[in-house]
Structures are given as C-alpha cells and as structure tokens.
Chain A
Amino acid sequence: MYQYDQYDQAMVDARVEEFRDQCQRRIEGKLTEDQFKPLRLMNGLYLQLHAYMLRVAIPYGTLSGRQMRALAGIADKFDRKYGHFTTRQNIQYNWIKLEDAGDILADLAKVEMHAIQTSGNCIRNISSDHFAGAAADEVADPRPYAELLRQWSSFHPEFSYLPRKFKFAVIASETDRAAMRLHDIGIQILKNDAGELGAAFYVGGGMGRTPMIAPCIRQFVPLDQLITYSEACLRVYNRYGRRDNKYKARIKILVHELGAEEYTRQVEAEFAHLLEQGIEPPLAELARIRTYFEDPAFDVGAADEIDRSDPDFAVWVDRNTHPHKQAGYVSAVISLKPVGGIPGDATADQMRLMAELAEDYSFDECRVIHTQNIVLPHVRKADLFAVWQKLEAAGLGTPNLDQVGDIIACPGLDYCSLANARSIPVAQRISERFAANGKGDTLGELKLKISGCINACGHHHAGHIGILGVDKKGVENYQLLLGGSEAEDTSLGKITGPGFSEEGIVDAVETAADVYLAQRQDGERFLDTYRRIGMEPFKEALYG
C-alpha cells in the first residue's frame, strides 16, 4: 500500500501545526465561530448534538495493521473506546473534546493519516473499490489513480471554497462496488479498443434530497490528462455551481440545469485551455505510485480447497468471502453488523483484532467498505478457518454480507445535529426481527439502507429497500422505498406510499420481504423480483 515520503509527511505535519494554531486563535477570540467553522470542518471536526465529532480520512479505504491499531488507540485515549466506520470508507469518533483535536491529529500523522478535507465545501476523501487489487474482474488496481487524485486535491488552492462538498469515487471494473455513479465525479478506469488504460468520467451524481445518477460526460480520458480533465470539471463547477441555495449547490444540480451536453461543452472548452497550462503530473509519478500497489508475494502453491466440514463456517464462507484473482486466496469480509448491533461501530479491542488478522493473514492490509464493514483482501483459503474462529470469538463473524441484516445506517438523531429521526434503533429492530423469525437466512441478497433525514447519508435512495426517517409534527415517521441500487445497474428507489411509525416500519419491511418470498422465481434477488413485478403487489400488501 502507499507510503508517505518526506514530502507527504511534511504536508501532514504542517497541517497539524496549522490546525493547532487555528484552534488557538479561536480560543483567543481572533477568529469568530463563523470564521472558524469552515476551517474546523475542513479538518473533519463537527459540532454534533452532544459533543464534537471527528472524521478521519481513510484514503480509498485502505489501512495497514499499524494504522488500524492507531485508530484503536485514539478510541481508547480520546473517545469512549469505539469508533464508527462510515459510508465513505472513513472512520468517525463521536465523543471528542475540542482541546484534544490537535493531539489526535498528531497521533494520526505518526501513522501517515490525517483528517484533511473530511468535511467542508471542498474535495473530500477519494473512495474506491474495496476489493481493489484482489478482485478477478478489474482491468487495473484503481487505487494509484485515487492516490494521485488525493495528492492533487489536498490543499487545492482554487477548489477549497466550492459551492458545496465534492466527492470522487474511482473504480476499475464493470462491476461497481463503490456506488460510482452516485458521486459528484465517478471515474471508471478502463481500456480502449487499442488496449490503453484511460478513464471514463461520470459527473453529477449524488444522493441527498435530490438524488441523481451521473451521466457519462467523456468515455475516455487518457491517463496523462486525468488531473487536467478533473481540474476542468471542477473549475466549471466552482464558477457556475449555484451559491444562492445550499440545497441546490451540488454539481448534480448544475449538470441537471445546464444539461449534460452543455456542461460537457463548457468542460471541454476549459480542458482545452488547461491542457496548454501544463498542469498534469509526469507519468513517472503515476508509475512511482503504482509501485506501492503491486501484488504482495502470494503463495502460488496455496491450496485452492476449503474444508467446509463445520457448517457454521461453511455458511460464513458462502456469504462473506469474495473471489480472488489469485488461486488459493479469497477476500474475506468482516461484518460490523452483529444482530441488534449498531451498524459500522467497532470497539477498540475489535479494531486491534482486525489489525492483528490483517498483519497475520492478509499481507498487513485491510479495507473499509462503504457498507460499513471491513475486508481482509488477501486471505489464503487454508487460513480461512483460523481467521473465522478468531472473528467469531470477538463477535465479528456474523455471516450476513449484503443480506437484510447488513444494514447501512447513518448516525441519525442519536448523534447528528441534522437528523429528523433515529436510524440506529430502526436498524437494530429490523436486524433482530429477521434473525428471530429466521427469514433473514432465506432472503439472499437484500440491501437495506436507512437515513435519518433527507440528506441521505444512509444511502436510502440506493437500497433495494430504503428507509427515510422524517419528522411528522414532532413524531418520528419512516418512509419506505423500494427498488434502489448503487451497483452498476444504478437505480433510485421509489416511495411506497404513506410513512410508518417506528414499530410499523419494521413490520412494513417484513411485509415487503414476504411479498418477495411469495413471488420470487428461480435465482431472483429481491431487487430482481421488484423490477419484474413492480410496486403494486408491494403496495397492496402494505396498504391494501
């Protein structure tokens, strides 16, 4: 994985000092809260309902064991011995004191980590495919491109006061595991007819209160123009994105209002101008970054069989592992969704165990998935049983990847100052219900996503089943959506009808699941059945 050189380290160290200085000037009254707020946000520090929350960047979701241990150390030292992995492959701490923020950043800098641009109206952490470098279906490892974008976007002088936040995702396979088309810019690394690598640009996707699927504005940008093209996309947005209304300030609104064709025309004109400026990094830099993402020393003779004699282990293998490009290996997914648990939370002890497993069994690497789980990307099949036993013992062996219990949920009204309703208890009750009635095991792939307000941090638009919490005359109310997908068949869910109470929404999800179980045909997932039979049978069962 990528390692800082003296330049990267100096930038992060300087940022720690800068932020300490900004905090000090705030305390001295030299900065007003209005002046300080964007500065602290650009360092991931939010003021939530009960305390400060600090969001730490995990570039393209990749962590070493040492970094995961450092995250555990911060949870122990500065928080309540746990952290929360997020839908953008980051981690956030919910109980931070402002006066500790500088020390936390200093601890992070020691392990080549930071909180730079994890919030604010700037370019955020670059996310990617969590199976990068391991998946059999990728044309290249997408992470070198994400790393190049990370460097380019860090402290970008022109794009740090954008109309609104800006999120990139980079993938390199036809299968989309990163919700690429639901980002401000989604990049797919692919090969053209001549076999050369390049990038397709999808611009103007997003969730929030106005969900949009990004159109492709360019099929192929050569690799030696990647940064220049990105800069052109951003400049048009910085100049013309709406600033009169924060709810209409994302790039999706600009692309929608101009039309993809006109936006593309403006980008191409800016691109032609910027090509003359010579702002692209040398290709040697991409080559240098790639050397950090070369394959680890796989055991080419590793046995390709898995002993499935333990039935519980066999279920976990079937559900929580993903095919690897190297024979004898798999990627193993650690579920942070135990029955009745808080989606995405991990204790400091669990983080240390995951670090140990990464070090002992996965070439010192783990990944955060946008579904708030952790991947051990390169595990020998022969080691899988030992890994599973250790996970089981730590409450991390739940076999539910992409199943109804693998719920994405935002922090909701338990923590968030923007939320209208709680998300976490709803996720817990649904998870418990489907474990207790046994239906969870029969449903197969069913992606359930819950947001506690229309900002959609819980990706409810993209859930096969989505739940949106709203405030209805002071009472929490939950709308049900069906038919969303964040994968390569991207679609946005549709609301079934009137919302439900907190108990009612759990029943409603079960009712929708029952319709599927009654109607499904061979091999169909929930989403496939919904797409075939449409909304009506579900409405009938829910409201009829």
Chain B
Amino acid sequence: MAEPLRFRDDAAASDPAVTVDAFVEQTNALAVRIEPGDDARKLLPFLDRLRLVEVNFPAFGDGRGYSAARILRETGYTGELRAVGDVLVDQLAYLKRCGFDAFDPDQPLDAGDVETALGRFPEVYQPTTDGRPPIWNIRHGKSHG
C-alpha cells in the first residue's frame, strides 16, 4: 500500500483508528476514525490526547467530512487530519482548505496531478483555518485570514 500523502513534518501516527463511540469510551486511544454520520463535536473534550483523526469518505460526493474537518480545526485540533477512502485529486484542494493535512486514498494519486490541482487557483474567496487570506481581505490591505 502506498504511503499516505502528508503535509506535516512530524512522524505519521501509526495508532489504529477506532470508531468515535469506541474512542469516547477508551481513555488510552490516540486515533479515531470519523464516518460521515458521526458528530465531530463528540471529540472536542478529547482533543489533547488525539494524535490522528481519520475522516472516511465512502463516496467522494458525500461532503459531510468537509464540515467535520473544519469544525475540528476551528476548535483547536492541531494533530494529523487524514482523509481516507474515495479521495480523488479533484477534491484535494478543497479538502486541504478544510484542514486536512494527510491523504490516504483507496486509489493512489498521480503526483503530477496532485501538484497541478493544489497549485491551480492563485487566491481564494473564503477564509478557513488554512491561513490563506481571502481575496476580500487582500483587496483591503489585510494579508491574513
């Protein structure tokens, strides 16, 4: 299996990811896997001990994982946020903007296509926690998100 595509400097967590329900009940689990129907906010009391959150995309058209990711980043989660499952190159830029910093797709991504996809748009219209300043801030001399 191909190595996950990572945009982090730390070592990849190798802990097995458990379900949200199992994670909440185990005091020693470090990794969790969010399914589309799970409420990411259930994890908020445990952000300190979390090293890895996997968000599963059983089908790329199910966009619930984008909200889960943003909620975790907005509430202070700084560990690895990994998109897994039906993760395709055409969704990569949006996933990254929502806070994902690791990708472990079912089908391996073409490195050239990844580079093209992530470099496609020079600017962004909306602020997220990725720190890129939205166009409406740049226009008015604010160069931060």
Please, which residues of chain A bring their CB within 8 A of the CB of B93?
157
Please, which residues of chain B bring their CB within 8 A of the CB of A235?
67
Q: Which of A159, A277, A281 contacts B136 (CB 8 A)?
A: A281
**A161–B93 Cα gap in the complex (Å)?**
13
Q: Mark A261-304, 1 if CB is under 8 A from B, else 0.
A: 00000000000011001110110110010000000000000000
Please, which residues of chain B bring their CB within 8 A of the CB of A5?
139
Q: In this assembly, does A18 line the interface, its C-beta being within 8 Å of a C-beta of chain B?
A: yes
**A18–B67 Cα gap in the complex (Å)?**
24
**A161–B125 Cα gap in the complex (Å)?**
17
Chain A residue nearest to B134 in the complex (CB): A281
Q: In this assembly, does B142 line the interface, its C-beta being within 8 Å of a C-beta of chain A?
A: yes
Question: Which residues of A149-184 are within 8 A (CB) of B?
Answer: 151-152, 154-162
Give the one of A7, A31, A273 with max B CB within 10 A.
Answer: A7
Write the nearest CB–CB distance from B5 to chain A, whole angstroms: 17
Please, which residues of chain A bring their CB within 8 A of the CB of B134?
281
Contact A278 B62 (CB under 8 A): no
Q: In this assembly, does A475 line the interface, its C-beta being within 8 Å of a C-beta of chain B?
A: no
Write the nearest CB–CB distance from B75 to chain A, whole angstroms: 8
Contact A279 B136 (CB under 8 A): no
| Interchain Cβ contacts within 8 Å, total number | 107
Write the nearest CB–CB distance from B145 to chain A, whole angstroms: 8
Contact B67 A239 (CB under 8 A): yes
Query: Which of B9-17, B23-31, B48-56, B116-124 lies at the interface with chain A?
Result: B116-124
**A288–B122 Cα gap in the complex (Å)?**
22
Contact B139 A11 (CB under 8 A): no
Whether A157 touches B123, Cβ cut-off 8 Å, given contacts A7-B139, A22-B90, A35-B88, is no
Q: In this assembly, does B94 line the interface, its C-beta being within 8 Å of a C-beta of chain A?
A: yes
Question: Which residues of B93-145 are within 8 A (CB) of A?
Answer: 93-95, 97-98, 110, 113, 116, 120-129, 134-140, 142, 145
Write the nearest CB–CB distance from A277 to chain B, whole angstroms: 5
Contact A160 B94 (CB under 8 A): yes
Residue count of chain A within 8 Å CB distance of chain B: 42
Residue count of chain B within 8 Å CB distance of chain A: 42
Contact A38 B61 (CB under 8 A): yes
Chain B residue nearest to A285 in the complex (CB): B136
Write the nearest CB–CB distance from A82 to chain B, whole angstroms: 33
Question: Which residues of A311-355 are within 8 A (CB) of B?
Answer: none
Whether A14 touches B126, Cβ cut-off 8 Å, given contacts A157-B94, A161-B66, is no
Q: Which of B60, B70, B136, B137 contacts A35 (CB 8 A)?
A: B60
Contact B126 A7 (CB under 8 A): no
Write the nearest CB–CB distance from A9 to chain B, whole angstroms: 10
Q: In this assembly, does A39 line the interface, its C-beta being within 8 Å of a C-beta of chain B?
A: yes
Chain A residue nearest to B96 in the complex (CB): A157
Whether A21 touches B61, Cβ cut-off 8 Å, given contacts A277-B74, A284-B140, is no
Contact B142 A282 (CB under 8 A): yes
Write the nearest CB–CB distance from A246 to chain B, whole angstroms: 11
Please, which residues of chain A bring their CB within 8 A of the CB of B36?
243
Contact B126 A152 (CB under 8 A): yes
Please, which residues of chain B bring their CB within 8 A of the CB of A35?
60, 88, 90
Q: In this assembly, does A541 line the interface, its C-beta being within 8 Å of a C-beta of chain B?
A: no
Q: Mark B66-88, 1 if CB is under 8 A from A, else 0.
A: 11101000100000000000001
**A235–B69 Cα gap in the complex (Å)?**
12
Contact A162 B63 (CB under 8 A): yes
Chain B residue nearest to A122 in the complex (CB): B63
Contact A121 B61 (CB under 8 A): yes
**A215–B134 Cα gap in the complex (Å)?**
32
Q: Which of A11, A155, A159, A279 contacts B63 (CB 8 A)?
A: A159
Please, which residues of chain B bring their CB within 8 A of the CB of A274?
74
Q: In this assembly, does A10 line the interface, its C-beta being within 8 Å of a C-beta of chain B?
A: yes
Write the nearest CB–CB distance from B106 to chain A, whole angstroms: 12
Chain B residue nearest to A280 in the complex (CB): B127
Please, which residues of chain A bring their CB within 8 A of the CB of B90?
22, 31, 35, 39
Contact B139 A279 (CB under 8 A): no
Q: In this assembly, does A238 line the interface, its C-beta being within 8 Å of a C-beta of chain B?
A: yes
Contact B125 A11 (CB under 8 A): yes
Write the nearest CB–CB distance from B8 to chain A, whole angstroms: 19
Chain A residue nearest to B86 in the complex (CB): A35
Contact B136 A282 (CB under 8 A): yes
Chain B residue nearest to A156 in the complex (CB): B126
Whether A10 touches B125, Cβ cut-off 8 Å, given contacts A157-B98, A238-B63, A238-B64, is no
Q: Can you report 22 A-B residue pairs in the complex whose CB atoms are below 8 A from each other?
A: A7-B138, A8-B135, A11-B125, A25-B113, A31-B90, A121-B63, A157-B97, A157-B98, A157-B126, A158-B63, A161-B91, A239-B39, A239-B67, A274-B74, A279-B128, A281-B134, A281-B137, A282-B140, A285-B136, A285-B139, A288-B139, A288-B140
**Other contacts beyond A238-B66, A282-B136: 18, CB < 8 A:** A7-B138, A10-B122, A14-B122, A31-B90, A39-B90, A157-B94, A157-B126, A158-B63, A158-B66, A158-B98, A159-B63, A160-B66, A161-B66, A239-B39, A239-B67, A278-B127, A281-B137, A288-B139
3 shortest interchain CB distances as A-B pairs: A161-B63, A157-B97, A157-B94
